[in-house]
């Protein structure tokens, strides 16, 4: 694959950076270039959680539907547990419940994301902590 001198120079500079410098660069380049991880172009995902499947690993344990946003959810879902995860630049997980008129703000790096009609129940940088909270919440309902 042929590359221009500019691209070669950029790759050389990035190659010489420390891990911390690369992370800092990524934090600023994600919103500018629209860099994405995985299939979704959103920097976050939202899932209505109806059950937990302990046979799966990580976020795949959450059984339920993915949502595009949280605004107006109360009309169709009723009371429900929701997990919101910001993917980059820093991972952050929030367990929330449907609550019309409430909002949750999540700051990750230099970005702040606002989600309407949900009430913050629990937040963590570790998915395992949020999973424990959601599991307890679902057990109380059952």
Residue 113 and residue 52 in one domain: yes
**Number of domains into which the chain is organized:** 2
H or E stretch including 8? helix 5-15
Residue 49 and residue 108 in one domain: yes
142 neighbors 134 (Cβ within 8 angstroms): no
Q: pTM surpassing 0.75?
A: no
> What's the mean pLDDT when you consider all of the chain?
80
85 neighbors 91 (Cβ within 8 angstroms): yes
Q: Is 65 exposed, middle or buried (0-12, 13-18, 19+ CB in 10 A)?
A: exposed
Domain span including residue 6? 1-35
98 neighbors 74 (Cβ within 8 angstroms): yes
Q: How far apart are CA 102 and CA 71, in angstroms?
A: 10
Number of alpha helices (DSSP H) and beta strands (DSSP E) in the chain = 4, 5
Residue 79 and residue 120 in one domain: yes
Residue 30 and residue 59 in one domain: no
Q: For residue 73, is pLDDT > 70?
A: no
- CB atoms near residue 2 (< 10 Å): 4
pLDDT at 2: 54
User: Which two structure tokens, joined as six digits, stand for 6?
Assistant: 């500019």
The tens digit of pLDDT for each residue in 41-66 reads: 678 889 988 888 989 998 899 998 88
Of residues 29 and 40, more confidence is placed in 29
pLDDT, mean of residues 27-39: 59
Residue 73 and residue 4 in one domain: no
Maximum Cα–Cα distance across the chain: 62
What is the percent of the chain with per-residue pLDDT over 90, rounded to a whole number?
16
Residue 109 and residue 65 in one domain: yes
pLDDT at 61: 92
12 neighbors 31 (Cβ within 8 angstroms): no
pLDDT, mean of residues 91-116: 87
pLDDT at 78: 46
Strand order in the sheet with 111-124: 62-67, 44-52, 81-86, 92-108, 111-124
Residue 130's pLDDT band (boundaries 50, 70, 90)? very high
pLDDT at 55: 92
């Amino acid at each position: 694959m042929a590359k221009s001198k500019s691209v070669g120079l950029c790759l050389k500079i990035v190659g010489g950076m420390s891990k911390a410098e690369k992370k800092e660069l990524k934090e600023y380049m994600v919103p500018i270039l629209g860099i994405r991880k995985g299939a979704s172009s959103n920097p976050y995902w939202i899932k209505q959680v109806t059950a937990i499947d302990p046979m799966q690993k990580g976020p795949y344990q959450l059984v339920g539907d993915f949502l595009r946003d949280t605004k107006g959810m109360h009309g169709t879902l009723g009371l429900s547990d929701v997990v919101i995860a910001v993917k980059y630049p820093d991972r952050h997980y929030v367990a929330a419940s449907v609550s019309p008129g409430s909002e949750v703000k999540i700051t990750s790096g230099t970005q702040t994301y606002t989600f309407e009609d949900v009430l913050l129940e629990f937040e963590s940088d570790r998915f395992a902590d949020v999973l424990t909270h959601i599991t307890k919440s679902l057990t109380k309902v059952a």
